[in-house]
Structure 1
Amino acid sequence: MAGGITETGELYSPFVGLVYMFNLIVGTGALTMPRAFAAAGWAVSLALITFLGFMSYMTTTFMIEAMAAANAQLRWKRREQEEVDASDSSSDYSDDDVTCRGRSEPETKPILSVQRSGGHQDPFDIVERMEMGQMASMFFNKVGVNMFYICIIVYLYGDLAIYAAAVPISLMEVTCGNHSCSAGGLKYNDTDPCWGPVTRKDAYRVFLSIFTLLLGPFTFFNAQKTKYLQMLTSLMRWIAFAMMIVLAIIRINKGAGEGRPPAAALGGVPNLFGVCVYSFMCQHSLPSLVTPIADKRRLGVLALANYALILAFYLLLSFTAIFCFDGERLHDMYTLNFTDNCAVLGVDFLRYFLGLFPVFTISTNFPIIAVTLRNNWKTLFHRDGGAYPWVVDRVAFPLITLAPPIAVAFCTHNLESLVGITGAYAGTGIQYVIPSCLVYFGRRRLEPVLGRDAINKHRSPFRHAFWVWFVLLWAASCLMFVTANIILTETHK
């Protein structure tokens, strides 16, 4: 996420971009959403997820506008450097005179008059992949850049902790007898036996240790997600989601649905907020997803269609879940509700497929996220012209990347809380605060060189400054509400 300008790679159509964006957003968070819906009530959940989907769409349009502004800024800098180089090669003036002419004169000449004179490329064309960190470096001051990296590092730590807990939980459920038909859908305690004297909690920690030993070493090297691995995990994901939705609908139609969710339960709202924010997260990956789209004329329509589809999918998954299963028996990982009761799914192979599905899909993402976090740490402490010692580069940074999330996973495997906290705090920063600040300061930064009449063809439909301040005020209010609720909850324990 932090690094230089990279190649856009192979271009693809807007439809393929829609599919990629859909797959990017719908992930682990969706599996924790049914339990959060049941805890908050169906009416409150419907209203909140619809509003949060709208807010996420708005900040997605902010990100697209900021990417276009960053591309225009980059073209301006390149043109400025070309003029300096041209002056150096053709002028008889001194170096000081050249510098003065090359750096001050162009500042008064709008970029549009130069770019459009050739009639070739609009300055706001998104052709360079500008990552969030690069845009922060362009538009923020040093404090703002550091705050950005701290925010994204905290978010990635939460991501890794969620992944590190989800895989051992699934393995524990598969191997501790919870897939036998005698389980009857009952929920087990951590102190219940798994293998003789070994409790379920002990088994979870054994699997977590194995998970760390197998995937942890990737943090010390570079890992790249291959195209075919991505295709395989996406196929498995949609087979699993489709199975869960269809099975829940069949069970409800047979009159065997056990769920009687309340309309509203305000105590579950803070956690639902965090889960929904986490489940709509895509802003940090938009540059690598949007830039290769060949036809970008309707990016706003593409984003709107995606969010409408994703909202419909989340509602279908969660509403079938809360009316199919008793809210008290819903697992943090929704797949487990189909693997511990033969009355729901009687085919052994399919039950094991759903039980192990998070293991394969999440395990392929863990090294990617870990390497991304490690690189962000390096960028945060980067010193111009200085290289890190081998021990720091190859040992220290990977260790500070891997140790905290594994430690958190050893202490708790409450996925609902991990997702809720990650989404409510770091997720709010990445999804709301950073895109709003990028578009606000991007507009201010480019106005002196572009002129007031310049029109960003990728500008957000929410172009008035009111919307930026509305998002920031909403984010601040949510953080205060969630924090106050956590304090009150801990006080009454």
Structure 2
Amino acid sequence: MLRRLLGVRRLFRMPITETGDQYSVWVGLIYIFNLIVGTGALTLPAAFARAGWGLSTISLLFLAFMSFMNATYVIETLACANAVFKWKRLQFIKRNSIQEHESDEEPSSSQHHYGELEDPLVCGDSIPSRYYSLDKRVELGEMANLFLNKGGRTMFYCTLCVYLYGDLSIYSAAVAKSMMDIVCSTVPANVSNTTDWDALPCFNVSSTAPDAYTRLDCYRVALLTFFAVTGPFIFSDVQKTKYLQLFTSGMRWLAFAIMISMAIYLLCVRGPQGTPPAFDFTGMPTLFGACVYSFMCHHSLPGLISPIRAKSRLGLHLALDYALISIFYLLLAFTGAFAFAKLSDLYTLNFVPTDNENIFLEIVEYFLALFPVFTLSTSFPIIAITLRNNLQSLFLDTTRLESYNIILRKLLFPIITVAPPLLLTYFLEDIGILIKFTGSYAGTGIQYLMPTFLVVSARRHCTNLLGLGVVNKYKSPFSHIAWAVFVLLWSFMCIILVSVNIFEKNS
């Protein structure tokens, strides 16, 4: 009996981790910052100016709040999943202990031991309070398997795979096109159709040689190079990208600082050139379309949070991360909206210098042109690892993952993760339709609908399993059911706004 109780207490004292090396909370916040702040931020200034500075400010802060609320839902559900796995392990210990007593004692005394066994596992102050933790990495797919019914699981995996495969395709195509634009000569203004773009020579647009190296060839070489560089990270865990994350985080901050500083300088020298209105509701669908990626991180939160060492004030740190990102977005959008009379849809195009003899400005031009490469090269491995882990949870039993063949675990699933985006973007460089569908409908499902359904089901499941006396210390501050209803109503509003935006662009 004493050995069993010591084993139970040791179970709660030792974190159940499958995350490898751990890192500090600040490194984890850098990971989340890098995942959220991508090239979607470069479309904010133009949308900000169209919708008006007042309406855009309110909308952006509201979207940040909604995203943070659903991030707390993901964290709470992750803690619930950890509690369920610990409860199952305790039940396993109980069954083994009962079987040992039944083999050693008479039937009457074994019943007595069973009664003794129940109380320390479900009562008391020390053990139940440790049910809930964030130590074990449980991907969203595993949470769906635990807490959703068959229809909910099917809907979840369809939405997640569409979104993540779409994200990987968009990111790889954007990086390859950015590299192609830097390497190749400028396209003449009179070239507009896709056929001419594919056939244009890369290094000399006036050349008509049949064996000339085309822009499409350059795009494909850049695409293969990108997969060759980022591909090895997909075979490991997210912790292995630590130094890549830190480096590109510095590049990202530098790029934002350059754009904001140059816009402020232009405001001081020339005065405000742009005159955006305060409120223009006709620009609201476009603004939402630009913001759909701006605060997305929920699909990868479990893999980023679990390796963090100190999680006692995780909610506060995450709120600070969201506040910092919101300040960046507002500063970038405000300075751009007033510094330029006409804003390009991609903000970096406003900083192309007219005087190429200025070496400093030319360096800045190339650096800002590489901004999508810096940002997306960081996010790509995280999203790919997230998709790989969720595919494993769909087809394999994650509780005994190490028992599967190493080729199946370490080789097959990473290949399944990267092969579809590579093939799609290699043969189809124009993925505009995929961007609209992925970022709008699937993005709304991943950011709003799925976290809400998961947390409501997880609360009910854990209450039935553990009772009301076991408190989840990682419970979301937005735990009232009214908040969940509000998120669902907002999700339907988002779908309407996205549909209006797509319709306006196609008409």
TM bucket normalised to smaller: 0.7 to 0.9
The secondary structure found in structure 1 opposite 2:62 is: helix
Residue 454, structure 1, aligned to residue 465, structure 2: no
Residue 411, structure 1, aligned to residue 426, structure 2: no
The secondary structure found in structure 2 opposite 1:124 is: coil
Q: Which position in structure 2 is the counterpart of 1:308?
A: 323
Tell me the distance in 2 between the aligned counterparts of 1:445 and 1:265: 45
Asked if 1 retains the 8 angstrom alpha-carbon contact of 2:175 and 2:226, the reply is no
The secondary structure found in structure 2 opposite 1:297 is: coil
Residue 335, structure 1, aligned to residue 348, structure 2: yes
Aligned pairs (5 A) from 1:315-330 = 315-327=330-342, 329-330=343-344
Residue 400, structure 1, aligned to residue 411, structure 2: no
- Residue 454 to residue 230, structure 1, CA distance change in 2 (3 Å): same
Residue 478, structure 1, aligned to residue 491, structure 2: no
- Residue 340 to residue 203, structure 1, CA distance change in 2 (3 Å): farther
Cα drift, residue 270 of structure 1: 2.5
TM-score (norm 1): 0.81
- Residue 319 to residue 419, structure 1, CA distance change in 2 (3 Å): farther
Q: Which position in structure 1 is the counterpart of 2:123?
A: 113
Deviations 1:112-141 (A, max 9, x none): 516x3558x622232222221221111112
Asked if 2 retains the 8 angstrom alpha-carbon contact of 1:277 and 1:427, the reply is yes
Q: Which amino acid aligns with 1:472?
A: L
Cα drift, residue 158 of structure 1: 2.5
Q: Which position in structure 2 is the counterpart of 1:290?
A: 305
- Consecutive unaligned residues in structure 2, runs of 5 or more: 1-15, 105-110
Cα drift, residue 243 of structure 1: 0.8
Tell me the distance in 2 between the aligned counterparts of 1:30 and 1:432: 20
Q: Which position in structure 1 is the counterpart of 2:5?
A: none
Residue 91, structure 1, aligned to residue 102, structure 2: yes
Tell me the distance in 1 between the aligned counterparts of 2:215 and 2:279: 34
The secondary structure found in structure 1 opposite 2:490 is: helix
Tell me the distance in 1 between the aligned counterparts of 2:483 and 2:116: 33
- Consecutive unaligned residues in structure 1, runs of 5 or more: 94-99
Aligned pairs (5 A) from 1:347-366 = 347-363=361-377, 365-366=379-380
The secondary structure found in structure 1 opposite 2:133 is: coil
Q: Which amino acid aligns with 2:351?
A: F
- Residue 424 to residue 84, structure 1, CA distance change in 2 (3 Å): same
Q: Which amino acid aligns with 2:370?
A: L
Asked if 2 retains the 8 angstrom alpha-carbon contact of 1:223 and 1:367, the reply is no
Tell me the distance in 2 between the aligned counterparts of 1:107 and 1:161: 53
Q: Which amino acid aligns with 2:123?
A: S
Q: Which amino acid aligns with 2:444?
A: T
Cα drift, residue 382 of structure 1: 5.1
- Residue 105 to residue 131, structure 1, CA distance change in 2 (3 Å): farther
Q: Choose 375-384 or 77-86, whichever is displaced more.
A: 375-384
The secondary structure found in structure 1 opposite 2:476 is: coil
Residue 138, structure 1, aligned to residue 151, structure 2: no
- Residue 468 to residue 8, structure 1, CA distance change in 2 (3 Å): farther
Tell me the distance in 1 between the aligned counterparts of 2:52 and 2:392: 43
- Residue 15 to residue 376, structure 1, CA distance change in 2 (3 Å): closer
Asked if 2 retains the 8 angstrom alpha-carbon contact of 1:274 and 1:421, the reply is no
Q: Which position in structure 1 is the counterpart of 2:62?
A: 51
Q: Tell me which of 250, 262, 276 is aligned to 2:265.
A: 250
Cα drift, residue 375 of structure 1: 5.4
Q: Which position in structure 2 is the counterpart of 1:236?
A: 251
Q: Tell me which of 198, 205, 221 is aligned to 1:196.
A: 205
Cα drift, residue 246 of structure 1: 0.6
Residue 34, structure 1, aligned to residue 25, structure 2: no
Deviations 1:233-269 (A, max 9, x none): 1111111111111111111111255323333444442
Asked if 1 retains the 8 angstrom alpha-carbon contact of 2:19 and 2:307, the reply is no
Deviations 1:25-75 (A, max 9, x none): 222221222233233332322121111111111111111211221121111
Aligned pairs (5 A) from 1:149-160 = 149-160=157-168
The secondary structure found in structure 1 opposite 2:309 is: coil
Asked if 2 retains the 8 angstrom alpha-carbon contact of 1:258 and 1:323, the reply is yes
Tell me the distance in 2 between the aligned counterparts of 1:34 and 1:486: 19
Tell me the distance in 1 between the aligned counterparts of 2:386 and 2:313: 30
Q: Which position in structure 1 is the counterpart of 2:13?
A: none
Q: Choose 229-238 or 154-163, whichever is displaced more.
A: 154-163
Q: Choose 384-393 or 419-428, whichever is displaced more.
A: 384-393
Deviations 1:125-168 (A, max 9, x none): 32222221221111112332232222121111232232133223
**Fraction of identical pairs, as percent:** 41
Q: Choose 347-356 or 443-452, whichever is displaced more.
A: 347-356
Q: Which amino acid aligns with 1:43?
A: G
Q: Tell me which of 61, 65, 72 is aligned to 2:83.
A: 72
Cα drift, residue 279 of structure 1: 1.1
Asked if 2 retains the 8 angstrom alpha-carbon contact of 1:273 and 1:424, the reply is no
- Residue 319 to residue 422, structure 1, CA distance change in 2 (3 Å): farther
Cα drift, residue 356 of structure 1: 2.2
Asked if 2 retains the 8 angstrom alpha-carbon contact of 1:34 and 1:318, the reply is yes
- Residue 274 to residue 213, structure 1, CA distance change in 2 (3 Å): same
Tell me the distance in 2 between the aligned counterparts of 1:472 and 1:466: 10
Q: Which position in structure 2 is the counterpart of 1:9?
A: 21
Cα drift, residue 315 of structure 1: 0.4
- Residue 346 to residue 214, structure 1, CA distance change in 2 (3 Å): closer
Tell me the distance in 1 between the aligned counterparts of 2:241 and 2:65: 32
Q: Which amino acid aligns with 2:262?
A: L
Q: Which amino acid aligns with 1:350?
A: V
The secondary structure found in structure 1 opposite 2:370 is: helix
Cα drift, residue 111 of structure 1: 5.7
Q: Which amino acid aligns with 1:352?
A: Y
- Residue 123 to residue 145, structure 1, CA distance change in 2 (3 Å): same
Deviations 1:9-37 (A, max 9, x none): 3242x444444433332222212222332
- Residue 89 to residue 162, structure 1, CA distance change in 2 (3 Å): same
Q: Which position in structure 2 is the counterpart of 1:96?
A: none
Q: Which amino acid aligns with 1:356?
A: L
Deviations 1:68-101 (A, max 9, x none): 21121111111011111212233149xxxxxx99
Asked if 1 retains the 8 angstrom alpha-carbon contact of 2:292 and 2:439, the reply is yes
Q: Which amino acid aligns with 1:480?
A: I
